[in-house]
């Protein structure tokens, strides 16, 4: 406990330096803007800004990204409530009741509850992050390659199950991502793999052009697909922002429940903020005394999911800080940033770079506070960004993506890869493939390969020894259960539907 308090104090001393405060503010503003703009989520913003963090130190870059992530969650709720447009996927649920509340003249109250929920969740998840990440990193120090391989395999299996869309498509994306991760010189033997004699490819396919292409350029292409449409933006008066006592009484418990749920779901691989909002909405409806109000403007349906998506952000940082394994695409970006700054994420990071860890934690508190102070009074300013015509905004994003990719290695090959993966991302999106598994597998794949080869070397090729280690076995059982139980349930349900008794019941 003393260690946590000391670390946190040191973190605040660092995060309160003017330069880091500026980065936190910049991240919060940029995050809110990207959250407000439909399509361009936190991932796109991080991808675009990744290369520009090179001019900062690692702590500054991490503070900026934490601000963007939280800010996007705040910004997404604003357009959901006022315009019925989810700024990003995690705000879809907020549209249902938030927009209904706006229709009843309670837009201000919904915005305040969403912001307060996000603040409460941010604080709770940061507390959780501190405790769980420290605890887990201590345990992870005892992990060997076999355990890291097991964690990676479980992560990818869960990702395939949870990332939405068809399971087969998710597996294909994971394998394509892993295949891309094998391009370059093999670090153990120095053998070139799939480089076709190209010197630049010897260093491997950089994560940045792939991520920017798939999330940035593909997003632009999807957006310009449709003709321009203008939004009528509703104004919110400052004096309308305060919820009534009754509204607070209903919203507060939902915020705490949403925070807890969100944090726990954030620990699981996949699009955790999105899943957290849906789970929170369903559980709030189940526990509510007035379930009939859900869908008609229930304040719990705004408070719970908004808290859940913010708490999931904190939860998602745990596996990255404690194990060095990203479980969400946004965390893969954060990992990429750490690696660009010469840091190797893993259990040792918290011990060796404790100043960075605590500064990021402290900056999350500060960022959350900044967001609540900034966002409510400036809600009309942020919403007015939607008035910028997208046919001006989109070329700007393309140019930023191109400069961003070029600035890291001054490589023309990276620029070509950006174009190629922009096209690939656009086609895959149109075909219903999820891009997140590809990106994550591309990052986790090389780690998996290293762990597997090291583990096989250590055990002398004994696979059973690798599987039957206590932690590995527990992880494999857990992953198998999570993976196969829903499949079995589906098969059982399908079997039941085919029985003559069921057919009779259905047909009357």
Partner 1 sequence: MITNSQRRHKIIALFLFGFSLFYFLGSFRLKMGNLKNPGPGFIPVAIGFFLVAFTALYVFRVLRGPSSTGKKEMPPARDKNYRAIAGILLCTAVYPFILEPLNFIFSTLIVCFIMLLLLRPGKILFSFLLSLAMAVGAFLIFARLFGVGLPSGFLEVFLFRIGGPT
What are the residues binding partner 1 (CB under 8 A)? 51-52, 55, 166, 168-169, 171-172, 175-176, 178-179, 182, 186, 188-189, 191, 193-194, 217, 220-221, 224-227, 391-392, 394-396, 398-400, 402-403, 406-407, 410, 412-413, 415-416, 418-420, 422-423, 426-427, 430-432, 448-449, 452-453, 456-457, 460-461, 463
- Contact by Cβ (8 Å): 234, 107: yes
Output the 3-class SS for 67-98: HHHHHHHHHHHHHHHHHCCCCCHHHHHHHHHH
Smallest separation (angstroms) from partner 1 to the CB of 56: 10
As a whole number of angstroms, the distance between CA 56 and CA 351 comes to 22
Helix axes 107-140, 2-15, angle to 10 degrees: 120
Cα separation values, 349 from 47, 67, 132, 355, Å: 23, 21, 15, 10
Residue number with CB closer to partner 1 (179 or 339): 179
Residue number with CB closer to partner 1 (327 or 421): 421
H/E segment holding residue 185: strand 184-185
Smallest separation (angstroms) from partner 1 to the CB of 4: 36
Residue number with CB closer to partner 1 (189 or 232): 189
Write b or e for each residue in 274-295: b if 16 or more Cβ atoms lie within 10 A of its Cβ, otherwise e.
Answer: bbbbbbbbebbbeebeeeebbe
Other Cβ atoms within 10 Å of 463 Cβ, number: 11
Structure tokens at 394: 């989109």
- Contact by Cβ (8 Å): 254, 300: yes
Residue number with CB closer to partner 1 (177 or 314): 177
As a whole number of angstroms, the distance between CA 266 and CA 391 comes to 35
Smallest separation (angstroms) from partner 1 to the CB of 382: 22
Other Cβ atoms within 10 Å of 427 Cβ, number: 12
According to DSSP, the residues that pair with 184 across neighbouring strands are 193
Residue number with CB closer to partner 1 (134 or 212): 212
* Spatial CA neighbour of 334 closest among 345, 323, 349: 345
Overall size of the chain counted in residues: 508
Smallest separation (angstroms) from partner 1 to the CB of 89: 20
Smallest separation (angstroms) from partner 1 to the CB of 376: 30
Smallest separation (angstroms) from partner 1 to the CB of 418: 6
Smallest separation (angstroms) from partner 1 to the CB of 348: 25
Smallest separation (angstroms) from partner 1 to the CB of 39: 14
As a whole number of angstroms, the distance between CA 463 and CA 461 comes to 6
Smallest separation (angstroms) from partner 1 to the CB of 302: 31
Residue number with CB closer to partner 1 (353 or 390): 390
Residue number with CB closer to partner 1 (173 or 311): 173
Residues 6 or more apart in contact with residue 333 via CB below 8 angstroms:
43, 46, 47, 50, 65, 211
- Give me Rg for the CA atoms of the chain: 23
Cα separation values, 376 from 20, 55, 75, 240, 383, Å: 23, 31, 10, 11, 11
Smallest separation (angstroms) from partner 1 to the CB of 419: 4
Residue number with CB closer to partner 1 (278 or 406): 406
Residue number with CB closer to partner 1 (52 or 369): 52
Residue number with CB closer to partner 1 (382 or 421): 421
């Amino acid at each position: 406990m003393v260690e946590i308090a000391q670390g946190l104090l040191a973190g605040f001393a660092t995060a309160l330096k003017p330069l880091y405060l500026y980065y936190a503010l910049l991240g919060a503003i940029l995050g809110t803007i990207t959250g407000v703009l439909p399509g361009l989520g936190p991932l796109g913003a991080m991808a675009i800004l990744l290369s520009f963090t090179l001019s900062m130190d690692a702590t500054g870059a991490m503070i900026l990204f934490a601000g963007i992530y939280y800010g996007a969650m705040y910004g997404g709720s604003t357009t959901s409530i006022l315009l019925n447009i989810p700024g990003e996927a995690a705000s879809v649920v907020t549209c249902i009741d938030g927009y209904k509340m706006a229709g009843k003249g309670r837009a201000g109250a919904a915005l305040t509850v969403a912001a307060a929920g996000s603040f409460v969740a941010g604080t709770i998840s940061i507390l959780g992050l501190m405790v769980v990440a420290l605890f887990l990193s201590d345990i992870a120090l005892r992990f060997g390659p076999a355990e890291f391989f097991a964690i990676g395999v479980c992560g990818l299996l869960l990702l395939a199950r949870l990332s939405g869309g068809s399971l087969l498509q998710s597996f294909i994306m994971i394998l394509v991502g892993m295949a891309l991760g094998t391009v370059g010189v093999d670090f153990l033997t120095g053998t070139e793999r799939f480089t076709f004699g190209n010197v630049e490819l010897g260093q491997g396919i950089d994560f940045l052009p792939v991520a920017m292409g798939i999330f940035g350029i593909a997003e632009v292409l999807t957006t310009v697909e449709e003709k321009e449409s203008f939004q009528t933006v509703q104004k919110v008066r400052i004096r309308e922002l305060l919820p009534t006592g009754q509204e607070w009484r209903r919203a507060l418990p939902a915020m705490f429940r949403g925070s807890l749920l969100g944090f726990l779901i954030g620990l699981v691989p996949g699009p955790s903020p999105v899943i957290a909002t849906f789970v929170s909405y369903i559980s709030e409806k189940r526990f509510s005394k007035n379930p009939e109000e859900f869908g008609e403007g229930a304040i719990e349906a705004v408070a719970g999911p908004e808290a859940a998506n913010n708490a999931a952000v904190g939860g998602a940082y745990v596996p990255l800080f404690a194990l060095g394994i990203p479980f969400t695409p946004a965390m893969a970006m954060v990992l990429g940033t750490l690696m660009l700054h010469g840091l190797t994420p893993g259990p040792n990071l918290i011990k060796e770079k404790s100043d960075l860890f605590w500064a990021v934690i402290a900056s999350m508190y500060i960022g959350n506070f900044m967001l609540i102070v900034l966002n409510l009074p400036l809600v009309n300013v942020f919403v007015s960004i939607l008035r910028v015509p997208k046919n001006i905004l989109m070329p700007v994003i393309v140019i930023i993506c191109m400069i961003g990719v070029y600035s890291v290695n001054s490589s023309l090959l990276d620029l070509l890869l950006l174009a190629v993966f922009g096209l690939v991302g656009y086609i895959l999106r149109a075909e219903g493939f999820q891009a997140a598994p590809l990106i994550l597998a591309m990052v986790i794949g090389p780690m998996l390969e290293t762990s597997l080869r090291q583990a096989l070397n250590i055990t002398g090729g004994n696979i059973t020894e690798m599987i039957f280690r206590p932690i590995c076995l527990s992880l494999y059982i857990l992953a198998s259960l999570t993976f196969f139980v829903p499949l079995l349930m589906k098969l059982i349900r399908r079997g039941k539907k085919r029985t003559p008794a069921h057919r009779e019941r259905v047909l009357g």
